[in-house]
Amino acid sequence: NFMLTQPHSVSESPGKTVTISCTGSSGSIASNYVQWYQQRPGSAPTTVIYEDNLRPSGVPDRFSGSIDSSSNSASLTISGLKTEDEADYYCQSYDSNNHEVFGGGTKLTVL
Amino acid sequence: EVQLVESGGVVVQPGGSLTLSCAASGFTFDDYTMHWVRQAPGKGLEWVSLISWDGDSTYYADSVKGRFTISRDNSKNSLYLQMNSLRTEDTAFYYCAKGPERPAIFHGMDVWGQGTTVTVSS
């Protein structure tokens, strides 16, 4: 089964830049769109990146997404970190079995 | 403003049944794929099921296939999840989420509801 692997946690200081990776287990991650979701404690998820690198309205341009075919990975980069960015982040794509797939999530700590 | 409001979450015994509902507003409901996604306590997100804009196509996670049924009533702007043969491992927060506009089906979710809690316990 297709899987997406994320680091369990990352941490960085306010004002810095952090990148969260999402690696596909098989096939080409570039073949299907990747989305990224933010989930703050006690809240529902919200979309921060869709179709690999597009931002929904209202999401600041500090958030960006990219695909690296050579490593079969997607990445979410957050620049100018703020304490409000502290949350769990999930990547998501879909597989050849017509299943949507989520990564295991990455806990971002801004300290 | 797009809004999704889930309801129907309760405590149910193992082997029992339950139907969740999701009321949608603020968009043309019958133009969009819809999803159910769940999150067990302290765990990550797990996709459960999706239904195409016209209801003709449905897909399920292996963990619920044969036990859960997704449906929609476009005349009522509503999404449903019928859950049968419930197991303790189905205990989770269940989110309704809006998918892509037709004809796309597999482009993830863009708006999420606030969720409803299902607890399966004796």
Please report, for chain B, how many H helices and E strands are present, in that order. 0, 11
Peptide bond before B103: cis, by omega within 30 degrees of 0?
A: yes
Percent of all residues in chain B with a pLDDT value above 90, rounded to a whole number: 97
Nearest to A102 among B45, B112, B115 (CB): B45
pLDDT in tens, B33-85: 999 999 999 999 999 999 999 999 999 999 999 999 999 999 999 999 999 99
CA separation, residue A46 to residues A9, B40, B74 (Å):
19, 18, 24
Amino acid at A73: S
Q: Is the pLDDT of residue A30 over 90?
A: no
Q: b vs e for B61-72, b when ≥16 Cβ sit within 10 Å of the residue's Cβ? A: beebeeebbbeb
Residue B107 has pLDDT above 90, yes or no: no
Q: Which residues of B touch A (CB under 8 A)?
A: 35, 37, 44-47, 50, 59, 61-62, 95, 106-115
**For A14-24, what is the mean pLDDT?**
97
Task: For residues A19 and B64, give the distance between their C-alpha atoms in angstroms, rounded to a whole number.
Answer: 34
Would you state the pLDDT for residue A19? 98
Nearest CA in chain B to A51: B107
Q: CA–CA distance from B104 to each of A57, B34, B37, B109, B116 (Å)?
A: 20, 11, 18, 12, 27
Is the pLDDT at A27 greater than 90? The verdict is no
Burial of A35 (0-12, 13-18, 19+ CB in 10 A): buried
Closest CB from A32, A46, A88 relative to B112: A46
Positive/negative CA dihedral, B75, B76, B79, B82: negative
A101 has pLDDT over 90: yes
Alpha-carbon span B39 to B117, nearest angstrom: 9
Q: What does the pLDDT read at residue A31? A: 87
Question: Contacts of residue B107 in chain A, CB cutoff 8 Å?
Answer: 33, 35, 50-51
